[in-house]
Structure 1
Amino acid sequence: MKYWLLPFYLLFGYSFTLAQSPKIDSLNRLISRASSDTARINLITKKISLVSEINIDSALALSLKTIESAHRVNYPSGEAFARVLAAQNYNYKGQYAASRTHLDVAQKIYKALNDPRKLIKVYNTYGTLYGMQSKYDSSIAFFEKSAALAKRHNDKVVLATIYTNIGISYQMLSNLPRALEYQQLSLTTAEANGDRTTQAYCLVNMANTYKLMADNKGAEQRYLQAIRLAKLEGIKNVELYAYTNLSAMYSQDSTSQKTYEFALKAARLAHQMGDPGIEATSLSRAASYLATVKRYKEAEAVNKQALSLADASGQPLNIHQTYSAMGTILKMQGKCASAIPFYEKSFAALKDADIYDEQTGVIYGELSACYEATGQYRQALSAYKTAAAISDSIRGKENVRKATELKMTYEFDKQQQIAQAQHQKQSELARTRQLALLAGMGLLLVVAAVSFYAYRTKQKANVSLEKQKQELEQTLTQLRLTQQQLIQSEKMASLGELTAGIAHEIQNPLNFVNNFSEVSTELIEELKEGPFQQVPDSEKEYAAEILGDLTQNLQKINHHGKRADSIVKGMLEHSRTSTGERKPTDLNALAEEYLKLAYHGLRAKDKSFNAQLVTDFDPNLKKTEVMAQDLGRVLLNLYNNAFYAVQEKQKTAPESYQPTVTVRTGQDQGQVRIQVQDNGTGMPENLKQKIFQPFFTTKPTGQGTGLGLSLSYDIITKGHSGRLDVETQPGEGTQMVVTLPA
């Protein structure tokens, strides 16, 4: 069976230092010589951060002891930080109630001390708490609160950590473009800070994103790079997660020995660190490999170890994986009756989790087959319907994700639009004045020469006046068009504000739908426990069936309400404006990342499409100050247009035609260039003049909004003071050139 990639949330304390015995020994010597209780507690909290990278149980025990010591000597700041560290370790143990208790107390202490900077680590740990329970919307909300505080205090080291965690949450919500944006931002920030530890954490999660994009080569490269950095820095937990996800990646080839080797290596490391959740999933993956090669007894024995460890971890995703793996192992042997209880318990673990992906639907399909094999046809039909419903939900989520990849928005910058129209109007007026001056000079010449060339001069004067008349009429027409464009721009800006307002208003009734469906479900459960017991036995079966249908209907209402809520959140997300924050960025890496993202996104939609990708990057290109997310939006739009052009040409071209998209970078005379060239359909000259106009598109109705190149032009020219040029030949291809100040 397949496995989910494990997300690796990055926790932080005062600093990320080498988790090696000499460091701990040095801290122990300093602790023994501490001049005061507060100094001793501060040193112990640093030691906890180191120990947690080696053994979670030891770090947790030391955290609890430090909380008592800090409380005894009346050192509230030290107590609060020790509680945050305890919560971090409880998260990895799967003891979420205990983690939340410590975080609530720490938050109250920091607020009482009026120390908002310390709340950064509290909110980050809250985000991890929800993320490890697969409640990713809540985790993003807390990570963003933490990021806002970090920006306010200019804490760039912590920001790199938070960006990684936000990227993980978007990754688990299948929003890969947003995930990759945040992960690239985290890696760039960590590289600028010289922080190799955060780079190692970030690379593991970036590798997960590449894996989900079906780029196994890119994923493996980053996993191995993370392992190399982890060994240099002595970070065992990074090494653990890299091995775990490598095993998951190799499991696509059911006979790959590497799956088994990496799984056992990860299980041993997890056992050393006291992480039962990862140890459970690693053993379960090893068991699945043994079943694939028909070593069933060994597979069942290994997976039984995984079951007990997963139960101890309390993490729903780990419990689901291990129990569904046991069900699959038994089903492979034809033991369907024995497999059913394991499948059922695996899905019970996901009751409160936000996980509806392809693999969930596959496992429901396996359960349906087992029900059918044992004659439980009603249950088989129900499980089959659930699998189909999940498949529909996945398609809906995928459609929303693809629709938002271009990051288009109808909220234009009104001031820039008005300024542009006024400038154009002034230019036309100046041109009119120049024409009038030329006309006057012409008339003077006519008067000076009238005695010599009376008749001829009269003819010339008439021609000149006719020409002036035509030019003035053209100028007036252009001014009217400019006025209409300004009015249209105002209308679209108002439409964007109206859309955002409607999205805000929709949120309130959606919240009521979701909340009341949950409350109604709880009331039905109370009804089952109370008045339902007084129903006559002859009516109980019928009443139970009605209550079951009501519960199922309410669950569907809640599920689809949450889907609608996610769509509204997506609308609000795309009404946000750019932060305008510029940072040094590797344009070669940025161009390559978004090229792969655009190509794999198109391939996911059309498996039959293939194109040759050619890159010619300047190895000496220096990092450039840009808004990386906005520039990434521009590149994604240019790549999508290029792929569309070659795909359209392929429909009518001979079989020898090879669709090709070429990306080049270079620099000269204080400028850098990014060139995107295709050998597609090209465009005639009359269309070339219009492509940067809002809402103008050459695509069929429903396939393009006409905003992509317009927004891209504004981002390059206004946001980066650069140029966006187009060179095209009908039937031969098109080249888009982005030019930026170096």
Structure 2
Amino acid sequence: MKWIFAALLVLLGSPVGAQHRYWAASYDSLRQALQRPQPDTSKLRTLVHLLDITELTEIRRREQALPLLDELLQLNQQAHFLQDAPYQELRKGVNLWLEGKNYTAAMDAMHRAVYLFDKAGHPVPRLLIDLAPLYNQMKASEARFTYFQQKLTYYRVHKVQENMAACYLVLGGSYRHRGDYNRAISNYLQAADLFAGFDHMLQASELVVAGSAYADWGNNQKALHYMKQAVDLESRYGIAGLPRFYTLLAVSRLQLIQGNPSEALRYAEKSLEFAAQQPDKRAEYTAYALVQKSAVLLQMQQLQQVRPLLQRAQHLADSLALPITGRPGEFALEATWAQYYTMRREYAQAEASWRQAYQKASAANYNMLLPKYLQNLVRFYDDHGQAKQAQYFARIYLNLADTLSTAQGAHHVAQYEGERLEQARNAQIAELRQAQLLQAERIKQRNRLLGVASVAIVLISALGVLAYQQLQVKRRTLAQLRQTQNQLVQSEKWAFVGEVSAGIAHELQNPLNFMKKFAEVSTRMVDGMHHQGASQDSELEQEILEGLRQNLQEISQHGMRASSIIRGMLDHSRAGTGPREASDLNALATENLHLAYESQQAQHPAFQVKLVAELSPDLPLVPVVPQDIGRMLLNLFTNAFYAVQQCHETGARVAYEPTVHIKTHKLTGCIEIRVRDNGCGMAPEVQAKVFQPFFTTKPLGEGTGLGLSLSHDIVKSHGGTLKVESREGEYTEFVVRLPA
């Protein structure tokens, strides 16, 4: 018996890269490849590949699949390249599904096709996933659940990873419809882990579904964790289509749950824009996006904008006969209408909409939505004094809640999360054991080599004496080299101490000289005042006292400058020594920008500076010493404000608007922060010295020259870089990069 699946090992080989390339192949590219002349066997392989990735849930795809199946069966009659029985059953099932007259017969044919593919050892994950909506059309949720449980058991025994992933995907949806979030999320995560080995698009889709389920379950932190993973996957692999649309909707819903309506509205608008770019699914996706945007606007109390959106969504839903749940997720049109009517105080329409939503969810066995709709019905009737109706729906809600709570865990973390950790620990233990075995084998090899070496030493014992003498010489030489190296290290240390001491002495000498001078002048003034005696003019005495007060103020200021220099050197020595915390760099930048601006305003109230902040919203938390990074940012902002103030005072530029600009964004492997001012810039010789300790361009007494040096050391202690970019007369920009 010839099976095509043995011949397709090249396409379905074990390497992970080949797996991903096979299942991520472009449908349109394969269709184009069929038009090119090629041998029958190659064309059969292309047809098999094309049918493997075809999504039969779309009517258009089912219509396209029939001629492909006919072509495959016709070619195989001549080439006898494969056993065509599974494809004959598949064609029969697709045709019956298209006719829409006998879904049961269509499902039986599909089951026989899957059975024959299993018998041949050919994975068909997309076909298995496509059976779920056919079951939904038959309103046979229990039969679907039983079938996929049985298939999962079979695939576990035979280790068919692709089909296991498909079963976990469908079972996750079944558990979620029942309101069993624990098992639903566990199945979604198991599906995502398996899809990671061959289909990144479905992996991202399952991570989003897991995050969405966590959000419905009340664990928003877990929801955000998995949605971020999905967004990263979609960006990394350029994933579009349904997974991308589902992600946009899910993030919008999560932001709404977390009380961020502006962000929720932004993602709802993105989903609308994405839907407009999908020619095949524009109408369906637009309906979902309109309902989500309406829900956001309702929370924002913008009722006037909601009605036209819901009317448009209702028109699309009626024309497409959209169910309450589909592949893009929950389609809560009736519930959104009910919320709108309630806020408008049109209570009769609100009641009808809530009842319609509840009836649709009940008919679909959609237990995930039933508790929410029942709660709203109970509140509605209670608010309107209809106690009998409120009690009726409250009893239904309590019975359903008891059923759901029995099936779920207590801590709102899916069971598979713990299993994942256990699997990771087992993998680590296996790696350690393998390392131990490898180490034991290496020790055996070394022992054998030592035995051979011992025999060699015995045979060349005469040379051993010479080798020993040479070894003694080398040891003495090595000892001398180490001693010389230690001397060089000590010399470098003392040289550094001397350099730093000279710098400190130089910087401290100026304030100390001023303090000495003003002290001597004050002494002479007091002596002169003493010799003049009490008969002198009181005005002259008052003038001398005023001079003494000014001298003492100068001495105090220069003493504070000396203290500032010493404090700066102590900050240098402590840079990067504090505990690191996962910090939000956007928050640190905003806080220190405001501190620097308030300080500048306090000194120069009349001087105005334009602040521009471009802070990336998807910046990850970075492990840093917050106090040190804050001090570094404060130094950069203070210097920027000083630069634009100086440029303004000198009048170097016409129609000058002082501006300080802060920008953060994520690069590959690092976070970049840019602080830019449109001051007068730096000359190249200044840029070369700007990070040297004690170097400053500020007037005497205004700066210690340690701010940028300290900032450079702080960034360096975090494993990052600090650079300056400047053009004289135009701008100065400091670029900070910290490892992410």
State the TM-score, normalized to the length of structure 1: 0.45
Computing the radius of gyration from Cα coordinates, the structure with the larger value is 2
Larger RCO: Structure 1 or Structure 2 (Cα < 8 Å, ≥ 6 residues apart)?
1
State the TM-score, normalized to the length of structure 2: 0.45
